[in-house]
Structure 1
Amino acid sequence: MLTPDKNGTLLTSIENKIATVQFGHPASNSFPRVLLDRLTNELSYLSDNEEVSVIILKSEGTGAFCAGASFDELLAVSTIEEGTRFFTGFANLINAMRTCKKIIIGRIHGKAVGGGVGIIAACDYALASQESSIKLSELAIGIGPFVIEPAVSRKIGKIAMSEITLATHEWKTASWALQKGFYAKVLDTIEELDLEIEAFSKKIAAYNPEALFEMKKIFWDGTSHWNKLLKERAAISGKLVLSDFTKNALIK
């Protein structure tokens, strides 16, 4: 399905049991709330689609993989309820990814910031290019990576999470992310990345779907409380985004 450009694009194709879901937005593949909801709904649909065994999640273009939350929408927030509702979009997406019955493979071709880092962390397996640096800059604008923290910490641990969270000005290289377990493999070029994605997804698609589902439940064991936790975290961000500090930082 294809969404209007002003809200970004979402395109899904299915071939040989492999669903490829591509999202995009003119602002460095950032996420307005409507695109978050569409991606969440699409993954929920594919979760129950018997014609799908594995999902590849990718973004369009050759620039950033994902710039996180839409700054325009953050600036437009005027009440705690609006702020909480916006950040709940990321909470819903991460929860949909972890409860999806299909293995989700992330194709990370470029840089990711903020919520984009959380989306990668919620993938079951992430393959990246050397250009796929990551950064959490939320504290610099007066909020914090509250909603995505559980997913990122699950992948790289609390110590590395504190390092990337506090060093808001630093891009952590793809090699750093690989060393911390954030990426499963880092390829030198986009061409090599796509070949690896194709080969790996074909192997996964050939496995017993029931076994994959049971294995995924084990991967995400101990996260059932995230439905409540991530919504609570969204409320924290929803409150902080109204601060003068954040409003001024977003305008700069």
Structure 2
Amino acid sequence: MNNPFVELTVKNKVGYITFFHPNRNSMPSDILSLLQKTIIDTGKNNDVNVIVLQSGGDRTFCAGASFNEVVTINNQDAGIQFFSGFAKVINAMRKCPKLIIGRVQGKAVGGGVGLAAATDYCLATKYASIRLSELSIGIGPFVIEPAVSRKMGKMAMSEMTIDAESFFSTDFAKDKGLYADVFDTTEALDDAVKVLAEKLASYNPEALSNMKKVLWEGTDHWDSLLLERAKISGKLVLSEFTKNTLKRFR
């Protein structure tokens, strides 16, 4: 696999949405836009009762924002538009009428943690450590904060944000509620995801949809909230500190 993609595969009423980028599954704006569209379209697909969100490759679920694209941002509108991509994906997941199971086979950084937190139920391997590195590069996890805090709590969110250069273990992620269960191998993870997804897909779709609404009660303001957060990141990404830091990672 060398070319980025987002694709949907449907098996036994389960829609498997897979995203991939050769640079550690980082997320440039075109992949974010395609992922948002795929989630929305799959939510309307009558052949799908449950969604699994997963990425290609082995040991990295998602490295977050594409540094190669971020470093080219040269005005605030472009910055807002880029970070709005993550906001739109999270909101698409939130508003999707179908339950979304996360399959996290490897490390999640920044926006990747936000994607895992925006799933309704998340399973992972023992290799799926997490990090919020944004403060260390001069911005902050503003867009994903509501999703991460909702799932893991404000104190865990604060701890990861402030200790921005450390990876937090899968035990930490499970203990704080990001992962429902952790498996020793990808094969065991895939078996568990398949069993759970197909079991849920056999349930009453109307009940699943109504349960989804209940699980996300109190988040109706996120459309505007996440856009406001994107504006903060869109401004900070223009700072000399961030530009110089990102150039070292390219």
Q: How high is the TM-score relative to the length of structure 1? A: 0.97
1:63 deviation in Å? 2.4
Q: Partners in 1 of 2:88 and 2:198 — Cα distance?
A: 28
1:192 corresponds to which letter in structure 2?
A
Name 2:188's counterpart in structure 1.
192
Q: Aligned pair 1:36/2:52, yes or no?
A: no
Q: Secondary structure at the residue paired with 1:69?
A: coil
> Which among 128, 134, 144 is matched to residue 130 of structure 2?
134
Name 2:206's counterpart in structure 1.
210
Q: Partners in 2 of 1:115 and 1:17 — Cα distance?
A: 28
Deviations 1:10-60 (A, max 9, x none): 121111110111100010000010000001001100111111100111100
Q: Secondary structure at the residue paired with 1:227?
A: helix
Deviations 1:155-180 (A, max 9, x none): 01111100000001110011110000
Name 1:57's counterpart in structure 2.
53
Contact 2:59–2:127 (CA under 8 A) maintained in structure 1: no
Contact 2:53–2:102 (CA under 8 A) maintained in structure 1: yes
Q: Partners in 2 of 1:13 and 1:186 — Cα distance?
A: 24
Q: Aligned pair 1:17/2:36, yes or no?
A: no
Q: Aligned pair 1:88/2:84, yes or no?
A: yes
> Which among 11, 26, 39 is matched to residue 22 of structure 2?
26
2:198 corresponds to which letter in structure 1?
K
1:32 corresponds to which letter in structure 2?
P
1:61 deviation in Å? 0.8
Structure 1 residues 56-205: aligned runs within 5 Å: 56-205=52-201
The alignment yields a C-alpha RMSD, in angstroms, of 1.1
Q: Secondary structure at the residue paired with 1:76?
A: coil
Q: Partners in 2 of 1:79 and 1:143 — Cα distance?
A: 15
Runs of 4+ in 1 over 6 A off after TM superposition: none
Q: Partners in 2 of 1:11 and 1:51 — Cα distance?
A: 15
Q: Partners in 2 of 1:225 and 1:11 — Cα distance?
A: 29
Q: Partners in 1 of 2:67 and 2:232 — Cα distance?
A: 17
Contact 2:100–2:121 (CA under 8 A) maintained in structure 1: yes
Give the length in aligned residue pairs.
Answer: 248
Name 1:46's counterpart in structure 2.
42
Structure 1: unaligned runs, 5 residues or longer: none
Q: Secondary structure at the residue paired with 1:65?
A: strand
Structure 2: unaligned runs, 5 residues or longer: none
Contact 2:149–2:157 (CA under 8 A) maintained in structure 1: yes
